[in-house]
Structure 1
Amino acid sequence: MSSFKIAGICGSLRKESFNKKLILRSQQLCSEHINGATINIIDWSQLPVYNQDFECDPPQSALDFKNEIANHDAILFVTPEYNYSIPGPLKNAIDWASRPIGDRGQVFAGKAVAIIGAASSSGPGASGSGRAQLALRQPLVFLDMVPVNKPLITVTGASSAFNEDGSLINDHFEKNIVKLLQNLIKLGKQLKTKPE
């Protein structure tokens, strides 16, 4: 059975970030509960700041990142919240991959995408990266991606949301991650172009 490949893109570069824990847990849940699908976490930490002047001779790291996206069937973004918006480095990565560099064309267009996230804030008004997820949807829709809308996964109080083994204390989140991945795969297969 051919594998359905999901590109996992974590919006935080910090090694011990809550969102890094969340994407690693999502990867493990996919492996444990979904046959024929994998999440490959893409390293985009070496991307330089986007500069249109470099499009004629783009850095290899940008070409590699764009190729990684092109070689996957769908994308899972895991984003923290920064001032209620998308973290700047993540927006920078999206800018590079969306530009007409290399020979892969529009690598985002027509792809299924899902967004989840975690934030350390808790209590009334805490969104668990919900605002960042909403902000991230705007450029992804502009890039002609097709989002999975439910279930919505926004982990609040992330500093106390994980067990020592990386699993989420609240089993509700784990079940919803599996359901979201199932929905992402279903949508991705519907959108996937058949080989010529």
Structure 2
Amino acid sequence: METPLNVAVLVGSLRRASYTRKVVMALAGLAPPTLACHIVEIGDLPLYTEDLDSTPPAAWTRFRDEIRRADAVLIATPEYNRSVPGCLKNAIDVGSRPDYPSAWDGLPAAVVSVSPYKLGGFGANHHVRQSLVFLNMPVMQQPEAYIGDVATMFDAHDRISSPESRAFLERLIGSFADWATLTRRASAVP
């Protein structure tokens, strides 16, 4: 068996009991053996400012190193004010510096947006995608993952409450495994 792909998972909500984190934990639990998912924490990252580029904070260096070791990136985000939370945008910015090549360069990615409302974080999902395109990250197109009514997805023990939800998350993480593997192979061809 091949070594599993190292997947850096970013959770755009800092609340430990957030629905976004619950979705990430469910996805990691359903991941095929070709993926090794681990959360890269973003809550300790000082706000990005170019003034610190010459002497980056230790948290920036730790974060950039973790992203550089990754083979792929899975980003899960709630939607705040029809966009992404500031902590997630800050993490994207921190990883994008110094300029070229950034820690993100060429990493296959998928975006999952989570919301207690019907739209499923559509705006946040597309704002993240917009940044990733600029950062030269091939983003999985299908299945799209706008998870609405997320509060109904889990039971009182944080288990997936319906077979339909489980099937969707299995399809999503399986598709991401295929996407990331194919994208990595294609980028390795001379």
Please tell me whether the aligned partners of residues 153 and 165 of structure 2 are also in contact (alpha carbons under 8 angstroms). Answer: no
Match of 2:44 in 1: 46
Q: Supply the AA of the counterpart residue of 1:95.
A: D
Q: d(CA) in 1 for partners of 2:155 and 2:140?
A: 27
Query: How far 1:100 sits from its partner (Å)?
Result: 1.0
Q: Supply the AA of the counterpart residue of 1:191.
A: T
Q: Supply the AA of the counterpart residue of 2:17.
A: E
Please tell me whether the aligned partners of residues 153 and 173 of structure 1 are also in contact (alpha carbons under 8 angstroms). Answer: no
**Counterpart check, 1:146 vs 2:147:** no
Match of 1:93 in 2: 91
Q: d(CA) in 2 for partners of 1:174 and 1:37?
A: 18
Of residues 118, 133, 142, the one that matches 2:125 is: 133
Q: Supply the AA of the counterpart residue of 1:28.
A: G
Match of 1:37 in 2: 35
Of residues 138, 149, 152, the one that matches 1:157 is: 149
Gaps of 5+ in 2: none
Q: d(CA) in 1 for partners of 2:70 and 2:189?
A: 14
- 1:47-196 → structure 2 map (5 Å cutoff): 47-100=45-98, 105-121=101-117, 126-192=118-184, 193-194=187-188
Query: How far 1:142 sits from its partner (Å)?
Result: 0.5
SS of the aligned residue for 2:109 comes to: strand
Q: d(CA) in 1 for partners of 2:164 and 2:54?
A: 48
Q: Supply the AA of the counterpart residue of 1:116.
A: V
Deviations 1:119-145 (A, max 9, x none): 112xxxx21112210111100000010
Q: d(CA) in 2 for partners of 1:191 and 1:42?
A: 21
Q: 1:158 to 1:181 in 2, by over 3 A?
A: closer
Match of 2:9 in 1: 8
CA RMSD in angstroms comes to 2.0
Q: 1:75 to 1:4 in 2, by over 3 A?
A: same
Q: Report the count of equivalent residues.
A: 187
Q: Supply the AA of the counterpart residue of 2:181.
A: K
Q: d(CA) in 2 for partners of 1:160 and 1:173?
A: 10
With normalisation by structure 1, the TM-score equals 0.88
With normalisation by structure 2, the TM-score equals 0.90
More displaced stretch, 9-18 vs 170-179: 170-179
Q: d(CA) in 2 for partners of 1:74 and 1:16?
A: 25
